[in-house]
Structures are given as C-alpha cells and as structure tokens.
Structure 1
C-alpha cells in the first residue's frame, strides 16, 4: 500500500532558484542524447485535482527543448475515438524514437473515474488494470521508457487550493463543477487511487509519488526524477542493444515439426460454371450483409497473408466488388517508412483500425514481424518471439471491442507459384508485381513454411482463428473466402426475420 498521505515537503525559493539552472542544463543534455537513441519517452502526469499538474507540465516544457517534446491532453473521447478500441487514442499519439511525449490524462483516467462513480466494480477495475499493465509491458519490451508521476494533495490542502484558484480572476476558470464534485468524493478517489497505484507500479514502469502542495518542490522533484530515469534508461538500453547484437543467433527450426500447410489438399477445384454461380450468389449476399453491418455499426477487419502470387489481390477484389466503396479501405503493407520504423511495429496498423460500420482489408499485415522480418533477420530473435503474445493481445483487444476479425492464409505449392510468376511476366499490367525479391524468397521456401506453420499454431485463437485456404485453384480460394466472410457476418449480425 502506498503511504501517499504522509506529505508536506517544501522547497525554499532561494534553493529553487539556485538548483534549477543545473537541472535544466542536465535535462537538455539528456534530451540531446535521447535524440540519437532507439526508444521514445512517455511521461504520465496524474494526480488529484488541484495538485499542480498543469504547472509542472508547463515548467517541463520550459526547461526542455519543445521541438522534440509534445504535450498531449486526453479529455472525453471523441465520437471517432469511441468507435475504436479504447487504447486506439493513445496508440496513434505515441512519440517516435528519440522524442518525448507528456500525456495529460492517460489510460488510467477512465478506469479510475469509472470506479469512483460506481460505473464498474472492483473485478472490472482489476481487468482494466491488467490490460493497462499488458500495454505498458508491450511498450517497455520495445524499449519505450514510461515515467509515471502522481501529484498528491491532502484533502484540506486540495480544498484550500481550489478556493484560492476560484478567488483569483486569472485562475477561476480552472475550477469546474466537476472539480467541486470530485472534492466531495475525495476519500473514495484516494481509495481507488491507492489500489490503482499499488497494482500498476511495476519494475518496468513504477509510480513516483510527489507532494503537490508546493509547486517549487513538486516541479523540481518531477524534473529530477525525469532526468534520472532518462539517464538510467539510456545506459541500460545501450547495454541491452550491445548484448543483443552479440547473442542474436539464427532461429532454431525443428526439421521434424509437422506442417499444417502440408495437410491442405491443393487439388481442390471449382469448374467455371459453378464458380460463376457461387460468385454471384456470395457477392450478392455479402452486399446485403455488409449494408446491414454498416447500419448496425459493426466493423470488420480482414487480414490476408500468403505466398507471393498466392492470390491475395484477386480475393480482395472479389470482396470489395460487393461492398460500398465509401465503407471500406484496403491497406497494402510494404516495408515500413522511416516514420513507421521510429514507432512500435504495431503502430502503423493501429492507425488504420476502422470506424464503426467500416471495413479494413490488410494486404499483408502485422504478421510480417513473425514471417519476413523473422526469416530475413530484420527483427531480432527476441523481437519476433515475443510478437506472438503481443499480436494475440492486440487481436483480443479488437475482438473485445466488437470488431469482426478474419485472418486468411492463401496457400499454393512451389510449382504453382513459379507458373504464376511466368504468367505475370507476360502480361503488361501485371509485370510490376514481379520483383527480384519474389524469386529470391523462393530460395527460403522451407524457412518461410516453418515460420508460417509456427505463426498459425501460436496465433490461431478461439476469438481470432486462421482460415487456411487451398489456393492452387484461384476460383476455389475466392469462393472459400467469400463464403467464410458471409458466414461470419451472418452469425454476428441481428438479421431481420
């Protein structure tokens, strides 16, 4: 239990004026070092109303270089944010490597407030805090430094602070009816806050409790803490990166591992007449179901993975043909841009999560971390190995929000792939699809097959299973995918009788 009631620290003005210049200098030097590092910094400033959060944040911005630091305030979520998973609003604002973001309000604000007002019970709060710890662990594992500061006031001090703010014409606008209401709920708020801080103060992201009664003391203390954490993390991260370079050996592949792909019957075919009939039937059905899904605000995410020339593009076009172009978006995933590389690898996918009633189709996806990045060595062994659980948590968050998630692996054999490569080279509007990398990747066919097998085994969950599609016959693959999509929509929507 945090003893956050035993406070009362102050800092003389003369001591403050004497010590701040050195602190500012060291903060700026640390910030310059950070600019060349491979991790970002997130500073969470939380605490009781009237605790001086705004004053501390303003001073941090004054003391440090604002060009490489941004302050982001989170208030009530917008309609756009409400239509997506709750962490979406935070993911999209994550700082890039080498920079700092100060979050005013954070992923703690809603669970804490909801528990104080009785909107959730202790069990639900525990679940929320568990999800928060998973988020922070995911960011920390990727190198992110999370600094969490809680500015505290005793009840009498908070009441006095709010009255003083209210009396001053220059500051009375800061006091809202919500602040007054929170003052009456002080004891309840502190009880929930103690539980929250205790549960979420981890070795990776500990809470630092600061007395907020004296702005000089609180701002100087927070500044010192930020400086210490950044300097420490730079040192630790440098050692970790150097150690990883020395120990990053080739991934182990079990040659006797049973392959799920080998169990697929690639001889499955559909004749042209049957294909045209079923294509018309399922596209008509999908057109109706997609319209109902849009009306009922059910979002859909479709993930397409598979071999080069496996038929992903053709399958996607048969789906989009049946969906209103205003309601879907196709995201073709290639090598990450410089901006994307400066963030967590999931960041570029979170940005495209669809709004309520919309559809996003990913032509390749976040699974690149455990496929091409693994096989080609673009991700370290530690990075792609932990990605399995990170992806599972990410997809679980999508499904819990109510998003329909379908994942397709389009499988063809090596001979069929080579045949399609040659065919594409003879067609003017398909030549662009063939590159030297496509032929080079064939040399690592077995490595990719083992990676796919492990991917499917470890990330096919009850809420987000993989559908393996026999793709040697394009017509069979397209119908299987359309049928699966229709069945998923049909079982998830409230359809008229």
Structure 2
C-alpha cells in the first residue's frame, strides 16, 4: 500500500473519530484460502487500532441462547469507530446453505433479513463496506496444498478449508445469489481477487476512505413487513365503559395471590423449557406501570428476571443506532426481561416531543415489527401491555403524588408538559396500535383507572401468554 494512501486512510479515520457522525462496518467474506485474515491484519496495522474492532465469530452458548441478530447488534461500532467482521452474517448464511443446514426458503428469508438489517444501519449513519474475495478453484487447491506442506504455515489449513474447496462451485453460485439479493446503493459489494500474489488491501483501503468521508447514500428501504391477520388493534377511546365497581380489598388480595401463584408456576416451567420472555410496558404518566411490574416480579425468582427502566438515552446509547440499547438487553433463553417503557418511545415521546425526525419515527414502525418478529421467531413470549388512564384520573394522581412526601419524586415538570399535549399523545398511541398490533405480538390495552383491577389484568394477560406458549 502506498504511503500516500496509508496517510489518507489514517487521516480519514481520525476525522471520523473527531466528527463522530457515522461509523463504518467492513464485512470480508468469500472463498477459502483467499487471504481474508492477512488482509484484515494489514488493514488493522494501517488503521488506528484503538478505534478499530475486529470480529471473527463462532457463536458462543450465550449467543445461541438469544435471538440470532443479538450477536451482531451488540458488536456494532459506536459512531466514530470502525468495525470489521470476517464473514459475519454473510458467512453464517452462506456456509449453512452450502452444508444443507439451511433450506432454500430459509436462505432467501435470511437474505431478506440481511437487507433489512443493513438498511436500518445505513439509516442510522453506519457506512457499509462489503467485500467478496474470489479465487480460481485450481489455484485454491494448489495454495492449500502449499500451505499444508509448509511446517511454519500448516496450522493455517483447517479441515473446513478442504471442505469449502470441494464446495467451490456451490459457494460461487450461492455467493452470486447472495450478492445480488443484498446489493444496494447504501450497501454495495466489491468483488476482488484473493490468494497468492494478490494485493487487495489497496482497493479496500480506498473504499474505506470513501466510506469515512463520502456523502451518505440514499437508503433503499426493504419491502415492508406485513403482520399476519388477527384481532383488530385496540383504541384508547374504546377500552372499557362503563367502569366496573372498585374491588373489595380482601377479594383483591385473594385474587392477587392466586394469580401470582399461577404465574410462579408458569414462569418455572418456561425457565425449565428455556423459553425467553420479553414484556414491554407502556402507558400514560401515572398509569401505574411500576405498581403492576412490582406485583408481577413478586411472583418471579429474582435471579431469573431483570427490569429495564428506559429513559433518555445515555451518551453511549446515542453513539449507536437507536435499537442497539434494546437488542443488547434481550434475555437469555429461560429468563425474563421487563421493559418499563420500551422501543415504542420512538413513536410516542420522541415523535410527539420532536426528538426524532418524522422520517425516523415513521420508519420505526417497520423496524419495530421486524425486531418483534425476530423475537417471536426465536421462540420468545412477547407481551405488550399499555396501561391507560383518563385525563381526570391522571390529574387526581398527580395531585396525590404532590401531596405525598414519599411519592413526590415521581412527579416531574416533564409529566405536566406531557399532560398539556394529551391529545397529541392519544393520536400517537392509537397510530402505534394500528401499525404494531399482531397475532402473537398484539397489544393488551389495560384500563388502569382502578389500580387493583389493572394489576390483576396484567397478571392475567401474562399468564395467558405463558400458558399459550407452554401448550404448544
């Protein structure tokens, strides 16, 4: 690599770090014995390696116990950094299909997932560089034999290299189909010759410089993901009328104990079967989400669940695509993750308060549907619960909080500001229901004007979801 190009590469990377407006992801895949590791080593030597992260993944038991895409979301580089993936999500699909561990239909579905994943990254300021290294089959065989004869380099040849040599034609065919299905203006492929005597580092370095300093490409959105038909989405205006009479305290305690005992048994069985549970709580301010979550967790083993209270993103979270902070919090199989507010903030508070651009929150509906579809495909139980109070009841609770010393911290200026935009929030909530209500991932709209009935309704909903999953 020429010194001038080396200087431009380093200069571009340092400017990338200073501006921190985008990150760069390089994926290197292709045929065996093409020098992928040597290429990455050379690039890493030329880059500022404190700002570069290299990943060559063999999935761990922890990664297999979470939805497939978790392993990649959690490793995405922050803005200002470069992430390098050897094979990455392309190698997973390519080799699984070549080895018949993945059917043709599943392969096509995975390529569609990849296209959607990369479009989401590009929309969030990730510049994608995708490299396919090619080699002639005969040349590949000679190179593998030469490596194996050399005592100092024989360790580089693994059994799977010979297997992929035998599959050269099939990998070439699948690679062509894969590149065609995932080629996009925001995620173009570059195909280069690899193997002995080839020097692709110069071309790759040039492409990296362009990704670091170039204009953001137009994002080509994947086809929208449609939800299966099912029940009609709820609406705030039709949740429950007239209100039932308040529950007697003794009756409430009896029913609460019964529901919690039922939940404890269901949760133990879900844990035994390694079924993950993800619960998302949304609701108007003072609707009682915390109280419902407390009654829920009282029935669970504290070692098996975690409550995530989602507020304004941290500096670290703002440096990543918006969905990153939700992907990284997904539970292991057999565990429970409870989100006190969730990814729906994108289409609620961020929309209403102007914290997300209209293009971003409108795009988020489809991104949320895909996120939840991947949870369900992994076998997770997904519960989405919206606790609703009317405007008069919210005001009464605000005043009660203001007058109760140990509850005053719950009432903030932001709560009063949100109340002033009550109608805007109601419109956003109903639109959220329309766009994200489905069969398995459907919304439960809980009338929370009566706290006791709301807590029992939440327990009943979660129990039914678990029992439906356990009955399969």
Name the TM tier (shorter chain): over 0.9
Query: Does the 8 Å CA contact 1:396/1:463 hold for their aligned counterparts?
Result: no
Residue of structure 1 aligned with 2:408, choices 415, 431, 446: 431
Q: TM-score, normalised by structure 1?
A: 0.89
The yes-or-no answer on 1:89 pairing with 2:64 is: no
> 2:443 aligns to what?
466
Compared CA separation, residues 472 and 280, structure 1 to 2 (3 A): same
Q: Separation in 2 of the partners of 1:334 and 1:131?
A: 29
Superposed, 1:326-475 pairs within 5 Å as 326-475=303-452
Q: Separation in 2 of the partners of 1:407 and 1:124?
A: 28
Q: Separation in 2 of the partners of 1:474 and 1:143?
A: 43
> 1:171 aligns to what?
153
Superposed, 1:104-123 pairs within 5 Å as 104-123=86-105
Query: Does the 8 Å CA contact 2:234/2:433 hold for their aligned counterparts?
Result: no
Number of residue pairs matched by the alignment: 456
Q: Aligned with 1:95: secondary structure? A: coil
Query: Does the 8 Å CA contact 1:52/1:215 hold for their aligned counterparts?
Result: no
Q: Separation in 2 of the partners of 1:357 and 1:213?
A: 45
- Once the 2 structures are TM-superposed, how far is the Cα of residue 353 of structure 1 from its aligned partner? 0.5
Q: Aligned with 2:212: secondary structure? A: helix
Superposed, 1:62-81 pairs within 5 Å as 62-75=45-58, 77-81=59-63
Q: Aligned with 1:118: secondary structure? A: coil
1:233-277 CA-partner distances (Å, limit 9, x unpaired)? xx337x99xxxxxxxxxxxxxxxxx99211122623433233222
Query: Does the 8 Å CA contact 2:234/2:445 hold for their aligned counterparts?
Result: no
Q: Aligned with 1:108: secondary structure? A: helix
Query: Does the 8 Å CA contact 2:76/2:83 hold for their aligned counterparts?
Result: yes
Query: Does the 8 Å CA contact 1:56/1:215 hold for their aligned counterparts?
Result: no
> 2:26 aligns to what?
43
Query: Does the 8 Å CA contact 2:234/2:443 hold for their aligned counterparts?
Result: no
1:311-363 CA-partner distances (Å, limit 9, x unpaired)? 00000011101111111100011110000000011101111111011000000
Query: Does the 8 Å CA contact 2:30/2:87 hold for their aligned counterparts?
Result: no
Q: Aligned with 2:457: secondary structure? A: helix
1:26-77 CA-partner distances (Å, limit 9, x unpaired)? 11121122220422110001111110101111111111211211111112x1
> 1:29 aligns to what?
11
Stretches of structure 2 that go unaligned for 5 or more consecutive residues are: 220-232
Stretches of structure 1 that go unaligned for 5 or more consecutive residues are: 1-15, 241-257
Give the ranges of 4+ consecutive aligned residues of structure 1 lying more than 4 Å apart after TM superposition.
Answer: none
Query: Does the 8 Å CA contact 1:210/1:222 hold for their aligned counterparts?
Result: no
- Once the 2 structures are TM-superposed, how far is the Cα of residue 216 of structure 1 from its aligned partner? 5.2
> 1:13 aligns to what?
none
Q: Aligned with 2:300: secondary structure? A: coil
> 2:277 aligns to what?
300
C-alpha RMSD over aligned residues: 1.8
Q: Aligned with 1:301: secondary structure? A: strand
Of the structure 1 ranges 214-223 and 174-183, higher mean CA displacement relative to structure 2 is found in: 214-223
Residue of structure 2 aligned with 1:286, choices 257, 263, 275: 263
Q: Separation in 2 of the partners of 1:46 and 1:29?
A: 26
- Once the 2 structures are TM-superposed, how far is the Cα of residue 120 of structure 1 from its aligned partner? 2.2
> 1:217 aligns to what?
199
Q: Separation in 2 of the partners of 1:270 and 1:371?
A: 32
Q: Separation in 1 of the partners of 2:308 and 2:366?
A: 23
Residue of structure 1 aligned with 2:248, choices 271, 277, 302: 271
